[in-house]
Amino acid sequence: MLAVAYGLFFSFSVFLVPLVAEFGWSRGLTAGAMSVSTVVQGILAPVTGVFVDRFGPRRVILVGAVLLSGAFVLGAAIETPWQLYLYTGVVGATGLVGLGWVPMGVLVSRWFRERRGRATGIAYTQGGKALHAAARRETILSAGAIGSPQILQLSGIGPGPLLQQHGIPVVHELPVGENLQDHLQLRMAFRVTGVQTLNTMLHSWPAKVKMALEYAFRRTGPLTMPPSQIGAFAKSDPAQATPNLEYHVQPISLDRFGVPPHPFPAFTASVCNLRPTARGHVRITSADPRAYPAIAPNYLSTAADRAVAAASIRLTRRIVNESAALRPYRPEEFMPGPQFQSEDELVQAAGQIGTTIFHPVGTCKMGRDDDATAVVDAQLRVRGIAGLRVIDASVMPTITSGNTNAPTIMIAERGSRLVRAA
């Protein structure tokens, strides 16, 4: 009860103001609400360590267990001023809770000061100053399938030739950054008539005002919609034992992310291959942590993936053109366009309309001790380095046949148990 009361008090009196200042009223209040929705399941023996993600490093003492999509808590300042607020970030439901001092505007330059093969903390910069944070127990890396391999490589853990190319001493050679997998979505678009879509609504100021008022007073309307309104699983061909395609359908269309929608009514039928055979990589391009890594997903680089892509476009056309429900709206394909018909043309079209669906995984692959392609073991510990774990989507050996959010939360839940049991 004391832990619950403590959490409630700080959620309202300390965390809410910084959350609102950082994220704005809407997201700040949402995060504040999340911070008081926790249920403390027990008090643990304090465990200290360093946790780093896009917010930077912090020293943590884990004091409780909760069901919260968030991360870590009670921390102590290490050499720099820290900003205090409850962190409800992107790592998923970790099963751990407390209070946290979070440094803002930091850049992790490398993971640890190595001592007898053990990770002892991290080096980072803040405000132009080179600093470090020490961990007495463990250092946990949760920077994602792009950030985690980059930080490991900068720390001297990765492919030897790559590290030597950039003048980084090899601390431990592992295939960090290899095995990159992602779901490539093919964004087919169809023009329709006799129905309104978000395309026309977003090009009309009266319609946008109406959407805002409807949400403000009724909490209904387009502003309550998720990114995709229809989802479906299908087989690219009957020989598939289980569905290998996933659809995301939206009442909007655009040439690419970040540009305005088309000025006419249309919808997008996005379809992705759930079990790609292509494997890519993430590799640093410099020893400078500010330099972006090279991300090469190698989409459509295998014959199997090209065949599935062509079959996906054909199946989508058949669903749209033969659907009695859509017939009154006379759908007309304009992305990629009906002129693409042959196998080679469809593969070319897939390359033109294909883009990531933001499911990168696999670059710090989990595997058995006899698996030469594995970076972490079954306990999520980096092989050959004591006191260092990776807990994020990068540990997946193979991409899941569906969205990766829930599996990543599961990894975080499992990882939190492994840390507590250590």
**Chain segment 193-220, per-residue pLDDT in tens:** 999 999 999 999 999 999 999 999 999 9
β-sheet with 280-283: strand ranges across = 178-180, 280-283, 294-296
- In angstroms, the CA 253 to CA 199 distance is 7
The answer to whether the beta carbons of residues 41 and 65 sit under 8 Å apart is yes
Both tokens of residue 162? 């790559």
As a whole number, mean pLDDT of residues 356-377 equals 96
Per-residue pLDDT at 175: 97
3-state secondary structure of 104: coil
Closest by CA position to 69, among listed 410, 421, 418, 419 = 410
**Block residue for tokens 């991290």:** 122
Q: What's the helix, strand, coil split of the chain in %, to 5?
A: 30, 25, 45
- Active-site residues, by number, are 359
**Chain segment 172-192, per-residue pLDDT in tens:** 999 999 999 999 999 999 999
Q: If pLDDT is split at 50, 70 and 90, which confidence band does 45 have?
A: very low
As a whole number, mean pLDDT of residues 365-393 equals 95
The length of the chain, given as a count of residues:
422
- In angstroms, the CA 214 to CA 216 distance is 6
Assess whether pLDDT exceeds 80 at residue 271.
yes
- Nearest 10 degrees: CA dihedral of 134, 138, 142, 145? 110
Fill in the amino acid letter for 284.
I
Mean pLDDT score of the chain, rounded to an integer?
A: 78
For residue 39, what are the contacts with CB-CB under 8 A and spacing of at least 6?
Answer: 4, 66, 67
Report percent pLDDT > 70 for the chain: 73
Per-residue pLDDT at 114: 56
Task: Considering only residues 81 and 14, tell me which one the structure prediction assigns the higher pLDDT.
Answer: 14
Residue-by-residue DSSP string for 313-354: HHHHHHHHHH-TTTGGG--EEEES-TT--SHHHHHHHHHHHE
Assess whether pLDDT exceeds 90 at residue 125.
no
> What is the H or E stretch that residue 420 is in?
helix 405-421
The answer to whether the beta carbons of residues 29 and 17 sit under 8 Å apart is no
User: What is the distance of C-alpha 297 from the center of its chain?
Assistant: 15
